[in-house]
Structure 1
Amino acid sequence: MKIRTRAFLLGIVPALLLAALLVGYLSLGRLADLESALRHRGLSLASYVSESAQYAVVSGNIAVLTPLLEHLREQDDVVSMAIRRGDGTPLLTFGAVPEGLSLPLAEAAVNTSTHIAFSMPVKIQAPPVDDPFLPEAREPGRVVAWVQVVMSRAGNQRVAREMLFNSLLIVGLGLVFTVILVRRLALTGIRPLMEIIDTVRRIGEGDLSGRLVANARSELRGLQLGINRMCEGLASSQQEMLRRIDEATAELTRQKEAAEQANQAKSKFLAAASHDLRQPLYALGLFSATLKQTVYTPGQIALVEKIEASVHALEDMFNTLLDLSRLEAGILQAQTRDIPLQQLFDRIARDHALQAEDKGLRFVVRPTSLRVHSDPLLLQRILSNLVSNALRYTRRGGVLLAARRRAGGVRVEVWDTGIGIETENLSRIFDEYFQVDNAARDRRQGLGLGLNIVRRLGELLGHAIEARSRPGLGSTFSVNLPAAMSSESGEPERRRDHRLVPGSFSGQRVLVIEDDADVREALRGLLESWGLTVLEAGGAGQALRTAGADAPPDLVISDYRLSAGENGIDTIASLRRAWNACPRALLISGDIAPESVAAMSASGLPVLHKPVHPARLRAVVATLLQS
């Protein structure tokens, strides 16, 4: 309820209650007086007629009462009157007794809602002198007749209605006067308060432009002035705050632009590092592998093996740091689809067979027909890191890669019989740079980032990574994957022996397409040392001229990024069209841009990422030529 309404009610309700009480009290008093007057008048009339009728009744001269009756007829409130003998026989009457009104022959007063009737006896009174002509006069106190008078209440009711109307009129005029007075007083006293309330409401809504006119004649004047000062202070603070917000917004915009520029620069650097910095490292690995084919003395062989070990350690660290930088830069984007696990298992088995063989370990990949929903490249990176880590810390026994259904999904596990992990270290193995059993920080064992990258890739893909271990007995790492969305299934492939059996090639023709001369020379020398016939070119046109339009090679090895805007996918496609044949092809890339990775994945061509380990390259080449 509004304050103005309350003020009106506070002024009007008491006045209304007081008026109602006064009207009720005065009206009831007045009505009681009228009723008493009517009763007294009726009794007086009945008594007067009773006394006047004594002589007429006794003498039998009723005619002398006629003037009295005529006088009573002229009274508005006298309805009827009758003089009756003691046996009820009427002597003289006028008017009719109202229906439903019955008067006894006894001294009484009878009330109805509209009439009041009186019955009065006519008694013999003792005469002052003895009258010989009226023997009845000698019996004083004897009832000789009855006088009955009926009075109407209509006059009283009319007076009551007039009085009620006049009272209500007076009360109404009083209420009008009260309303005018209260309104004037309320508006005079409450208007400043209402203005204060409205101004405070607008302040609450954020409008600080309103000001109050300090016209109150009470304590509200001080409140008006205080609210004006508060508005001015808030407006000043708001302007200052808006100025600071604008400055902060501008600064945030500058910082955002700087961050975006830095992120773009970082992405460009990573892209350049992925390709340009990999090139000399890739060439160095190929040259060292070729050099190993040309030395024979134990000292020379040991020296080359040390060079190879250093190159491989550098490659691993470079790949690890580059992967970590890509994750931190946020340029990795998951492209999930339904994939058969066996294809990933085959690649991982092929890539790590030589690592297991060099350490004398059994590497078992259990065939599977299960299909999962994930990003094939990132999932392969996770599983490859887990297998590589297991082989690194296993001295005897072996490593098992397997998959099984679990709780509506698929669980891939990597088991090893390695050194195991202490319970207190299980929660730390996924931290950056943490390594088990590498207190000397031997860089041949990596940087301690492999499992950290596994955890980050798992978070990116939404795959939970778990680890459990028993010191001295081995460890198990699990990757929980969602099952494939489609119901398509395949037959598990037969179990293969994934150990690479070294052997010589039989002079198959291999076309190498690489725009970097050092890498091209190193790759040519390595392939020739394996017994392959190598044709080399820097682009698509030179490749067609070198190989000949009618003699497609047995295998095409092409870099993804070539000069003059060419890429390996389009180059291989154009050569196949020119030869009207589809020789086996292999892409080698150092490009990490999401669009490039997506294009290579969609091409269906096998891909090796620089720097490529010579043994891994040999295994892939052997697989492609044998197939």
Structure 2
Amino acid sequence: MIAGKPLPGVRHEPLFGHARPPASRAPQAGSAADARPQGNGAIVRRWFRLRLSLVQQLVLLVLAFSSLSILAVLGIMANRYLQDVSEQALRNTQIVAQQMARAAATPLQQMDRRALMVLTRTALAQPGMQLAQVHSPDGEILAQAMAHDAVHAGGDEIMHPVLHEASGMPIGQVVVRSDGAALRQVSRSLWWTCGSLFVGGLLAVGVSGWWVARRVSAPLCELAAAVDQLAQGEAAQVENRGTAEIGRLQRGFNRAALALAHQRSELERQVRQATAQIKLRNVQLQAADQAKSRMLAAASHDLRQPLHALTLFTDALQSSESDPARIERVARVRECVDALDRLFTGLLDLAQLDAGTMQPVVRTFALDALFDELSRNFRAMAEERDLRLVVRKTDVRVRCDYVMLLRMLNNLVSNALRYTVCGGVLVVARRRGERVRIDVIDSGIGIAEQHQQQVFEEFYQVDALASRAERGLGLGLATVRRLSQLLDIPVRLRSRPGHGTMVSLEVGGAASPLTAGPAAEAGDDAATPPAAVQRCADGLAGLTVLVIDDEVAILEGLELVLGQDGATVVTAQNRAQALARFCERRPDVVVCDLLLGAGDSGLEVLQVLRQLPPWQADPPGVLLVTGETSADRLREIASAAVMVLHKPVPPWLLRCRIAEAACARSPCRPAG
């Protein structure tokens, strides 16, 4: 084939002796042929999802483009070279065929077979020849020469006519076939050479690409390290080198790092100043809080002393008065004293909670017993205001601290009655699964939504219809919140102005056997003494009570109150008098104030009295009375393990506690 056109009489065969493959059938669905491309695609997708470094990405990019370029160039060059070699082999075969046809004209006319055999052997001896034949006009092979390893595969076969010398008519033809093995050997050598060149080129491109990528990425890596250093709060600068674009980026980073360092230093300075101011204000607030606590404790103690004396004198006056009009006036005085007592009790509760001296004693008891005591406490108050107080009977049992739960309900019912003009207050308990919900519902003036969270704060009050005296100090609900946190009791408040308020407590229910303790465990807030203690109080006659207090008014009040019950009261104002009075007449009960004159402590006086032989031989009952609310004093009292009453003490409660102390010392005598 010359210039892409087939030569006449030439049969062209493929360079390599491979038959054309048959048309492939369409692959069936779900075959392995379908699965393989999908698997390869998944591998490629996973490969591209790998987090490669910049150098690796640049090298891979260079290798990809370089490999495609090298493959394209080598493919084009190899194909062109093979075409040239194939065309050259074809021309050589044609030349041999032409020369053989001219040389065979005379022997063929003479039918000289020997000469024809010599001619075919001569043609076969030419380079790259595999077969040489001389055919008669009717196709008979007159002479033939063939290589020993001749295989018809891949060579070019040329048929050329033999013309008569005179007439120019065909008198036969010659057939010459070239050897395709040589061409295949050239092809194999060529492809091995191309493969070597491809691998070598890739290695050269890879090394050079890696070097270039390192040069390009080194400033970026240095910049990334500086960014990490800057993120850790350290100063960072990079050297200005690299290309124009990289240099611009480095200069911008250095300027930004300097600005950020300046802002950080300024911010740190401001933080240090703010921290110092916060510390200073914290110290000032702590000092102010301590001063407030000391002021409240001192004011509370100083106010409780005369109030305690007033309580005693009022009780003595009411007991000795027979005129109904004067009894009514004394009752009004007692109401005022009771109001002051409630205010001081609220302050004391918060002080005890702050000091951590109030710890819950959880036990199982019938809720109805607590409801009965709650009803007795506030029935008179509700009747005075023409209100209904309904405390529904219940058979549920709860597991909680009896005293603290009663104190919470006392505060809630007291608030409800204080802020209710008409209607009444309902206290009801409902079982909710394993818990018991106690609702205190009133028909009072209600609380606006913006105040419903703040009413549980200390000293917070909402302007309402109640007078200032009735509103108190705003400690009732604050005490409820603090006790609920201590007991882990959820408290919920729902209220609408003009429609009333409902406060709910959720207490743990109990199905264990009832273990209701004596009503004396109800605490100091009960309005009337329990029956068992009242029987002991009726037997105060004949008891000798040593009262140690530095306030003359309190000593006189106790002499009046206890003397009316038939007790003999011996008084002392300091440690020396207490020692003398104790030795003169051994008392049944010692009632001692915590703070005595000249900085003396009632606990220390009691400790000295305990060292006396008469005390050790027959210890009397001990009762400590105090008006202190400071945290340190409350902790000191709690660690003394003695019966404590907080001023102002209601006279009935004082009688009960003295009777209890006497009963603890010896069996109670029967009343009368």
Quickly name the TM-score band, shorter chain normalised.
0.7 to 0.9
Give CA-to-partner distance per residue, 1:108-149, whole Å, 9 cap, x none: xxxx3xx325263765x33428xxxxxxx9xx4354xx6444
The equivalent of 1:32 in structure 2 is 83
The equivalent of 1:612 in structure 2 is 649
Q: AA paired with 1:379? A: L
Q: AA paired with 1:525? A: L
Query: Does 2:484 align with 1:433?
Result: no
Distance in 2 (alpha carbons) for counterparts of 1:119 and 1:340: 122
Offset of residue 63 of structure 1: 2.8
Offset of residue 603 of structure 1: 9.6
Query: Does 2:515 align with 1:490?
Result: yes
Distance in 1 (alpha carbons) for counterparts of 2:86 and 2:448: 111
Distance in 2 (alpha carbons) for counterparts of 1:358 and 1:615: 22
Distance in 1 (alpha carbons) for counterparts of 2:387 and 2:614: 45
Distance in 1 (alpha carbons) for counterparts of 2:572 and 2:392: 41
C-alpha contact 2:156 2:180 (8 A) present in aligned 1: no
2:147 to 76, 95, 98: 95
C-alpha contact 2:624 2:643 (8 A) present in aligned 1: yes
Change (3 A) 1:451 1:251: closer
Matches within 5 A, 1:156-555: 156-167=183-194, 191-213=218-240, 215-216=241-242, 218-272=244-298, 275=301, 277-294=303-320, 304-305=330-331, 307-321=333-347, 323=349, 330-331=354-355, 335-341=359-365, 370-389=396-415, 403-414=429-440, 420-422=443-445, 431=455, 432-434=460-462, 437-438=465-466, 441=467, 443=469, 446-447=472-473, 449-455=475-481, 457-458=483-484, 461=487, 462-466=489-493, 478-483=504-509, 487-490=512-515, 507-509=541-543, 511-512=545-546, 514-518=548-552, 519-535=554-570, 553=588
C-alpha contact 1:556 1:584 (8 A) present in aligned 2: yes
C-alpha contact 1:50 1:120 (8 A) present in aligned 2: no
Offset of residue 604 of structure 1: 9.4
Distance in 2 (alpha carbons) for counterparts of 1:401 and 1:269: 38
SS state of the match for residue 100, structure 2? helix
Distance in 2 (alpha carbons) for counterparts of 1:301 and 1:275: 29
Distance in 1 (alpha carbons) for counterparts of 2:213 and 2:646: 89
Distance in 2 (alpha carbons) for counterparts of 1:426 and 1:252: 33
Distance in 2 (alpha carbons) for counterparts of 1:348 and 1:575: 44
Offset of residue 27 of structure 1: 1.2
The equivalent of 2:179 in structure 1 is 152
Q: AA paired with 2:81? A: R
Normalised by the length of structure 1, the TM-score is 0.73
Change (3 A) 1:212 1:295: same
Q: Which moved more, 1:89-98 or 1:168-177?
A: 168-177
The equivalent of 2:96 in structure 1 is 45
Matches within 5 A, 1:122-161: 123=162, 125-128=163-166, 140-143=169-172, 147-161=174-188
Query: Does 2:160 align with 1:118?
Result: no
Change (3 A) 1:281 1:31: same
Offset of residue 522 of structure 1: 2.6
Offset of residue 324 of structure 1: 5.8
Distance in 1 (alpha carbons) for counterparts of 2:309 and 2:612: 25
Q: AA paired with 1:338? A: V
Give CA-to-partner distance per residue, 1:286-332, whole Å, 9 cap, x none: 233234445566776566555544433333333345556777xx555
Q: CA RMSD in A?
A: 5.2
Distance in 2 (alpha carbons) for counterparts of 1:354 and 1:549: 45
Distance in 1 (alpha carbons) for counterparts of 2:364 and 2:639: 15
Offset of residue 265 of structure 1: 4.3
Change (3 A) 1:403 1:568: farther
Query: Does 2:72 align with 1:21?
Result: yes
Offset of residue 433 of structure 1: 2.7
Report % sequence identity: 27
Distance in 2 (alpha carbons) for counterparts of 1:571 and 1:469: 59
Offset of residue 282 of structure 1: 1.8
SS state of the match for residue 145, structure 2? strand
Change (3 A) 1:409 1:435: farther
Distance in 1 (alpha carbons) for counterparts of 2:509 and 2:609: 34
Q: Which moved more, 1:48-57 or 1:179-188?
A: 179-188
Distance in 1 (alpha carbons) for counterparts of 2:528 and 2:490: 30
Change (3 A) 1:492 1:506: closer
Give CA-to-partner distance per residue, 1:369-428, whole Å, 9 cap, x none: 755444554433212223444565789999776645333212335577xxx314566985
Distance in 2 (alpha carbons) for counterparts of 1:444 and 1:388: 10
Change (3 A) 1:585 1:488: farther
Change (3 A) 1:287 1:574: farther
Give CA-to-partner distance per residue, 1:2-36, whole Å, 9 cap, x none: 44445445555444433322221121122122222
- Structure 1 residues not aligned, in runs of 5+: 102-111, 130-136
Offset of residue 471 of structure 1: 7.8
Offset of residue 151 of structure 1: 2.4
Offset of residue 209 of structure 1: 2.7
- Structure 2 residues not aligned, in runs of 5+: 1-51, 520-525
Offset of residue 455 of structure 1: 4.6
Normalised by the length of structure 2, the TM-score is 0.68
For these two proteins, the number of residue pairs brought into alignment is 590
Distance in 2 (alpha carbons) for counterparts of 1:444 and 1:547: 44
C-alpha contact 1:552 1:581 (8 A) present in aligned 2: no
Change (3 A) 1:565 1:163: farther
C-alpha contact 1:81 1:95 (8 A) present in aligned 2: no
Change (3 A) 1:602 1:18: same
Q: AA paired with 2:541? A: G
C-alpha contact 1:350 1:616 (8 A) present in aligned 2: no
C-alpha contact 1:510 1:557 (8 A) present in aligned 2: no
Give CA-to-partner distance per residue, 1:66-111, whole Å, 9 cap, x none: 5544544544422344446667667443323645x4xxxxxxxxxx
Q: AA paired with 1:609? A: H
